[in-house]
Copies of this chain bind each other. A is one copy, B any other.
Amino acid sequence: MASRIDAAQRTAIDMINARAKSSIDVALTRSFLHNTHEEWERRERIIQVLKDDPAFDKSRREFMTRTERYTRGLAMTNRIYELQEIHKWSNEETAVAFASLDEQLPNFLHNVAFQPVFSLQGSPSLVAKYGPQIATRGIIGCYLQTELGHGTNVSQLETTATFIPGTQEFEIHSPNLTSTKWWIGALGKTATYGVVQAKLILPGGKDVGPHLFLVQLRNTDNHNVLPGIVIGDIGPKALGGFSPVDNGFARFSHVRIPKENMLSKFAQVTEEGKYVQPPHAKLSYGGMLYIRANMVTGAGWLMAKAATVSIRYATVRRQGGKDSDGLEKQTITYPSLYIRLLPILSHAYVFIQLGKTLINSFNTMASRLATGDTSLLAEMHATTSGLKVLCSTMGVQDLEVARRSMGGHGYSAFAGLGRLYADYLPSVTYEGDNFVLDQQVVRAALKSFGTLFSSNSPSTSVSSLSPSSQYLRLLLQPAAPLPSPTGDGWGDPAAAILLLEWRAALLVREHAQTADEPDASVYQRVSKAVTEAFVAVQVGEIIKTLTSLPAHDAHVIRSLYTLYLLTTVEAGLVDFLSFGVLVPSNNTGSHDRSVDPARSLRLAINQLCQELLPNAIGLTDAFGFTDWELDSALGVFDGRVYDALWERVQTEPLNQTEVTSAYEESIKPMLLRGQRQAAQSHSKL
């Protein structure tokens, strides 16, 4: 008994054994995910600087108030810019530093919204005047769009910007409570300037809709709020999310700004107050698409964290029946557990790689847009809308599935995934509410469908289908055989990809034919089918690139991508079955003899999972996260989860005294009352 290794020590051995079992080359896979070995090394170097710097210490974070979290967030931000000077980091390297923090920070909005919108839409003279300070954060900005009363429906924003020809100024004004700008990141306590969305009112009262205006918010000398403006923080967010960000509100009372402060690269107002139309109404969409394109990569790396933490914990946690080694089973060996975790791993690999493709496409589009060429805009809009919905919905779900897979300890703040969930949760509503975006995806699909079939010879117009509408080609070949894989057939990614394209085609066609009587959830279903078909085709392309890896590694990673495809097919089974794409194998209409056609798919998925299991740790190690990045007691690299939990718990403020102050205040009176009542009831007997 004495020589027996106890459960806490066992964890480290389990992790070492799991690493020994991995058959892939972790370093090569890491380079695949991080583009090149050099990019990985650069990242390592930057993270080394941060994790040894006290500004980025995470040990007290869970005990802080929101004000403390905000203050710490600003200190980290300032420190990173200081380090940028010290280490002569490029802007890209600085971005890597910020991205390696697991914190939402106010300056994020400066970088992804304020600065791009200002640069893309400001007039050359305005950009010349303010651009340099904005680039170096001599000005800290925010982007004031959403109002208390309006988010999604930008056209109904109520803030006004009235042109005053006499002084060549605009008057920014909040006419009522609901026009208060609301939710604006970095507005509450940080930003000195903002770009304000406001209805442009011409002399005579004509409203030409929302336009953008650069407005100074705070005094550059002492940070006081400028006259006529009321600014504040909108308070804590649900689940403690976005704690360090001062999402704020602002009301404007007849605030005057110079005419030149209108962002007038596209639309303008003349000195006389005449409106000059923008050449293309959509030229201003670039910024939003940039954020959405980046969300795909972001989701991939978040899924990677969820997979790393949960798979590591499931590797060292033993519970339940005895295994062949006489110990309780590692929880990762339970089918009900690995069937939840390995798909998350596959999602991470899909979205990390897909994000790279998407950023490339965005850059191509942006360079064309700069020359006034909007030809790629509609496609980019449809693609990023659908992917934004898919990756944010899936990311939120994966974080929670991973957290829940860790049972009781997953609910500890020290497990680390709850914090990521809380911060990621709003991604399903910001940058376009997912349910609104679904409708835009469907609208684009119906348009492609309509174009294809309104043509007299549809088959000739297949070549005009955009990349994201390629699946519609299938409808032109009614005789084309549908894949109906069984057994080993499911191992071929091509079959699953084609099935997912068929699903999209059939759903779009049915919706086009019944659009006058839609059911209540049709947009979600069609949007999902269309986007999943697009992703499936992209995954097929990614699989082709695996040839750059050694054959065995390529085989394992291909299996992981196949798992993504098959679980996507499984999640879409209702569509496949209700359209008769898959049918019960003995379908006589007599329920008692039919055989479940989903079963061969599910068995193939199980088979794939079992093949992948020995490499689960290797495939997560390949993400390359440090313990500092994960900040999870359950996801520590060495597997010593119980030691890690124990250490973290000792830092809890409640543990700094043996007897709580609530004892004298509340516990003692309660005990004394109870003792008195018990004595009274006893004396009555």
> In this complex, what residue of B is CB-closest to A232?
B655
A167 contacts the other chain (CB 8 A): no
Interchain CB contact under 8 A, A152 and B320: yes
What chain B residues lie within 8 Å of A426 (beta carbons)?
408, 411
What chain B residues lie within 8 Å of A139 (beta carbons)?
671, 674
A100 contacts the other chain (CB 8 A): no
- In the complex, per-residue mask of A570-582: 1 if CB is within 8 Å of any chain B CB, else 0: 0001100111111
What chain B residues lie within 8 Å of A652 (beta carbons)?
232-236
- In the complex, per-residue mask of A269-293: 1 if CB is within 8 Å of any chain B CB, else 0: 0000000000000000000000000
- In the complex, per-residue mask of A422-450: 1 if CB is within 8 Å of any chain B CB, else 0: 10011011100101001100000000000
A675 to B130, CA, bound (A): 11
Interchain CB contact under 8 A, A594 and B573: no
What chain B residues lie within 8 Å of A651 (beta carbons)?
235
Nearest CB of B to A514, in Å? 7
A626 contacts the other chain (CB 8 A): no
Interchain CB contact under 8 A, A74 and B666: yes
A182 to B189, CA, bound (A): 41
Q: How many copies does the complex hold?
A: 2
A552 contacts the other chain (CB 8 A): no
Interchain CB contact under 8 A, B78 and A415: no
A304-312, A355-363, A657-665 - the one binding chain B: A657-665
CB proximity to B under 8 Å, residues A288-345: 319-320, 328, 335-339
What chain B residues lie within 8 Å of A75 (beta carbons)?
662, 665-666
Interchain CB contact under 8 A, A523 and B660: no
Interchain CB contact under 8 A, B665 and A74: yes
Interchain CB contact under 8 A, A594 and B580: yes
- In the complex, per-residue mask of A132-171: 1 if CB is within 8 Å of any chain B CB, else 0: 1101111110000010111111001010000000000000
A71 to B664, CA, bound (A): 11
Interchain CB contact under 8 A, A410 and B238: yes
CB proximity to B under 8 Å, residues A651-685: 651-655, 658-663, 665-678, 681-682
A233 to B659, CA, bound (A): 12
What chain B residues lie within 8 Å of A82 (beta carbons)?
669, 673
A23-31, A117-125, A221-229 - the one binding chain B: A221-229
Interchain CB contact under 8 A, A66 and B234: no
Nearest CB of B to A198, in Å? 16
Q: Which of B225, B602, B672 contacts A519 (CB 8 A)?
A: B602
> In this complex, what residue of B is CB-closest to A132?
B678
Nearest CB of B to A598, in Å? 5
A133 to B681, CA, bound (A): 10
> In this complex, what residue of B is CB-closest to A176?
B6
A77 contacts the other chain (CB 8 A): yes
Interchain CB contact under 8 A, B411 and A241: yes
A41-49, A382-390, A486-494, A638-646 - the one binding chain B: A638-646
Using A62-B236, A176-B7, A177-B646 as known contacts, say yes or no to A583 and B579 having CB atoms under 8 A apart: no
What chain B residues lie within 8 Å of A435 (beta carbons)?
336-337
Using A62-B235, A587-B587, A592-B478 as known contacts, say yes or no to A429 and B410 having CB atoms under 8 A apart: yes
What chain B residues lie within 8 Å of A598 (beta carbons)?
574, 578
A451-459, A603-611, A615-623 - the one binding chain B: A603-611
What chain B residues lie within 8 Å of A410 (beta carbons)?
238, 429
Nearest CB of B to A426, in Å? 5
Interchain CB contact under 8 A, B239 and A422: yes
A589 contacts the other chain (CB 8 A): yes
A38 contacts the other chain (CB 8 A): no
A417 contacts the other chain (CB 8 A): yes
Using A133-B675, A596-B510, A671-B192 as known contacts, say yes or no to A414 and B646 having CB atoms under 8 A apart: no
Nearest CB of B to A332, in Å? 12
Nearest CB of B to A336, in Å? 5
Interchain CB contact under 8 A, A153 and B328: yes
What chain B residues lie within 8 Å of A587 (beta carbons)?
580, 583, 587
A146 to B139, CA, bound (A): 54
Q: Which of B6, B224, B519, B668 contacts A606 (CB 8 A)?
A: B519
Nearest CB of B to A329, in Å? 10
Interchain CB contact under 8 A, B599 and A8: no
Interchain CB contact under 8 A, A237 and B674: no
A413 contacts the other chain (CB 8 A): yes
Interchain CB contact under 8 A, A642 and B177: yes
Interchain CB contact under 8 A, B670 and A140: yes
Q: Which of B239, B425, B584, B603 contacts A578 (CB 8 A)?
A: B584
> In this complex, what residue of B is CB-closest to A594?
B580
What chain B residues lie within 8 Å of A67 (beta carbons)?
653-654
Using A403-B238, A573-B574, A654-B67 as known contacts, say yes or no to A137 and B233 having CB atoms under 8 A apart: no
A524 contacts the other chain (CB 8 A): yes
A332 to B649, CA, bound (A): 45
What chain B residues lie within 8 Å of A577 (beta carbons)?
573-574, 577-578
Interchain CB contact under 8 A, A661 and B520: no
Q: Which of B190, B413, B662 contacts A70 (CB 8 A)?
A: B662
Nearest CB of B to A206, in Å? 14
Interchain CB contact under 8 A, B417 and A521: no
What chain B residues lie within 8 Å of A177 (beta carbons)?
6-8, 642-643, 646
A246 contacts the other chain (CB 8 A): yes
Q: Which of B148, B189, B192, B429 contacts A654 (CB 8 A)?
A: B189
